[in-house]
Structure 1
C-alpha cells in the first residue's frame, strides 16, 4: 500500500530499510505458503496431555512457523518462563487454555482481563501477555481446522494475523505483543478466515445500505465482510484472487445468483482520490466498491503515522504520499474518515 495499510516505519529504521525488511518478510511468508506441513510438539503428543514443557516447546515452534523475528520469539519464550515461575499467573493462563481446548469457546473479554492480570503478576508487558495466550491457542485451533476439514494453509494464513499485529504493536509502542488482541476472537471462533491476501467473515446484510436509499437484492440476507491485514502491498489481482476464494468458501450463504461483498474501512475514504494516484493500491481497492456511506473521524490515523494522533498535524511525518496528503488535509482543517462499500458478483463468474 505504499503508505500505509501497514505503516512500516520506526524511529530507528529508515523508510528504505523498513521496506526491504518488510519485503523480505513477505517473501518468506510466500515461500512458507508453498510448503506443506507444520508439525509441532502438539501434533506429536495428541491424546497424551499437554504439560508445561509442551507449551514451552510449542512457543518456539509457532513463532518460527509464523515468521516472528528472533527478538520477538525470545520475548515470547521469556514471557512464558516468567508466567510459569509465578503460580497465580501460570494457573490463570492454563485455566483459559484448557477451557478453549475443551469446547473451542471463550469469553474473550474475560480472557484478556485474565491475561492482563497474569502479566502484572509475572512482571511482563500486558500487550505481550495478550498476544502470547492467543499464540498458545493456535495449537488447538489447528486441530479444530483439521476436524472441520479446512485446509492447513487457511489455518496458517489466518494465524499470520498474529504476526501482522505483532509488528503494529512494535511500531506503535516498542513492545512485542498486540494492543488490539480483542480483534483475534473471530479467528479463534472460526468465523473469520484469511483467504489469500484478504480476510473474510459472513455478516448480516448491512442495514445502512437500505437506509441510504439503496435496494437490497431480493432474498439476500448475508454479505461477505472483508478486512485488509497490514501485510504489504494491496494489488488488484491479489484482491480478485481472494474474492474468488471467499466466494467458494461462503457460497452456501448465497442461494441466489449473486454474491455480495462488503467493507467498512478507512481505506474507502473518498478523499484518497484527491492525493493518491489512480493506480495506487488504495485507489484500485476503492474501485471495487459502490461506496454508499462515509463519515469523518481521525481514529485510524495511527495506521498511517504509527502513532496516536494528538490533534497537532504540524508534528506528523511526511515520509510517504499518503502521509503528506493527510497532513495537508489536517492542516487545512479537514479530517480523516472511513467509508462503507458493497459490490455484487455473479456466482457463475466467481466459481
Structure 2
C-alpha cells in the first residue's frame, strides 16, 4: 500500500495539488481497511472495495471539500434524459461517510469540482452532476425532517431511477454499520437508526436512487 500511496502522491504533485488535498483523499484507504479489520480482526479489504480504492489511487476519483467527484465516460442510462450533450461534462458525485453534509459545504464542493476540471483542460459549458446513493432514496422524506441535511442534499437532484432489487441494501450497511439480516441486531443509537428500523419493520424500503442536476457555467 505504501508504494501505491507514493505513486498517488506523485500524481498530486504533478497536478500541482496540495499535500493537504492528498492527505484528505488518501483517508479512504484507511476508512475501508479499518472497516474490514473491525469486522474480521485482521487487516485487509473487501473485494467489493478494490475498484474504489484503485480509483482513489489513480486519482480518477477526487475529494474536493465535502464531496468526491469522478468524470463519467459512459452516460447510456441518461440517453433518454438529454437529447443534446455537446459541451456537457458529466460528473459522478460520491459522498464519504463520517462528515456533515451541509448545503453550504456541498455548494463549495460543486464549485471546486468545476474549477478543478477546468484546470485539467476539460472544455465544457454545462456540468451534469449525477449521484447514485441511498441518500437519494425518496422514502427518506417520510422519516427525516425537511431541514435535514440529507433532505437538503436530495432537493438539488431530479430522480430518474431506483434499484428496487438490492440484495444487500446499502442503506443498512451505511446507517447501521453492518449487513446483518436480523433486524433485531440493528442499533438504535441515532434518530435515523430508530426511524429507519421502525419503518423497515413495517415494510417500507429505501432503494439506491440515481439523480442529476444541471449547472450552467
TM-score strictly above 0.5: yes
Q: 1:281 to 1:164 in 2, by over 3 A?
A: farther
The alignment's TM-score, normalised by the length of structure 2, stands at 0.85
Is the 2:89–2:126 contact (alpha carbons within 8 Å) kept by the matching residues of 1? no
State the Cα distance separating 1:292 from its structure 2 match. Answer: 1.6
Higher-Rg member (1/2)? 1
1:307 aligned to which of 158, 178, 183: 178
Helix, strand or coil: the match of 2:93?
strand
2:148 aligned to which of 277, 280, 297: 280
Is the 1:291–1:339 contact (alpha carbons within 8 Å) kept by the matching residues of 2? yes
Aligned to 1:190: 59
Helix, strand or coil: the match of 1:237?
helix
Q: 1:239 to 1:245 in 2, by over 3 A?
A: same
1:235 aligned to which of 94, 102, 111: 102
State the Cα distance separating 1:345 from its structure 2 match. Answer: 1.1
Is the 1:171–1:306 contact (alpha carbons within 8 Å) kept by the matching residues of 2? no
Aligned to 1:263: 131
How many residue pairs are counted as aligned between the two chains? Answer: 210
Helix, strand or coil: the match of 2:175?
helix
Q: How many angstroms apart in 2 are the aligned matches of 1:178 and 1:276? A: 32
Asked if residue 169 in structure 1 is aligned to residue 36 in structure 2, the reply is: yes
Is the 1:196–1:242 contact (alpha carbons within 8 Å) kept by the matching residues of 2? yes
Q: How many angstroms apart in 2 are the aligned matches of 1:321 and 1:150? A: 39
State the Cα distance separating 1:241 from its structure 2 match. Answer: 0.8
Q: How many angstroms apart in 1 are the aligned matches of 2:186 and 2:15? A: 47
* Runs (5+) with no aligned partner, structure 1: 1-132
Q: 1:330 to 1:156 in 2, by over 3 A?
A: same
More off after superposition, 239-248 vs 316-325: 316-325
Helix, strand or coil: the match of 2:79?
helix
Is the 1:205–1:222 contact (alpha carbons within 8 Å) kept by the matching residues of 2? no
5 Å matches for 1:200-219?
200-204=69-73, 206-211=75-80, 214-219=81-86
Q: How many angstroms apart in 1 are the aligned matches of 2:117 and 2:82? A: 22
Q: What is the alpha-carbon root mean square deviation over aligned residues? A: 2.2
Q: 1:332 to 1:188 in 2, by over 3 A?
A: same
* Runs (5+) with no aligned partner, structure 2: none
Aligned to 2:201: 331
Q: How many angstroms apart in 2 are the aligned matches of 1:192 and 1:340? A: 18
Is the 2:88–2:128 contact (alpha carbons within 8 Å) kept by the matching residues of 1? no
State the Cα distance separating 1:182 from its structure 2 match. Answer: 3.3
Q: 1:172 to 1:230 in 2, by over 3 A?
A: farther
State the Cα distance separating 1:221 from its structure 2 match. Answer: 5.2
Q: How many angstroms apart in 1 are the aligned matches of 2:43 and 2:27? A: 15
Asked if residue 318 in structure 1 is aligned to residue 188 in structure 2, the reply is: yes
The alignment's TM-score, normalised by the length of structure 1, stands at 0.55
State the Cα distance separating 1:306 from its structure 2 match. Answer: 1.1
Q: 1:318 to 1:165 in 2, by over 3 A?
A: same
Q: How many angstroms apart in 2 are the aligned matches of 1:306 and 1:173? A: 14
State the Cα distance separating 1:247 from its structure 2 match. Answer: 0.6
Is the 1:209–1:216 contact (alpha carbons within 8 Å) kept by the matching residues of 2? no
- Between Structure 1 and Structure 2, which shows a larger proportion of helix residues? 1
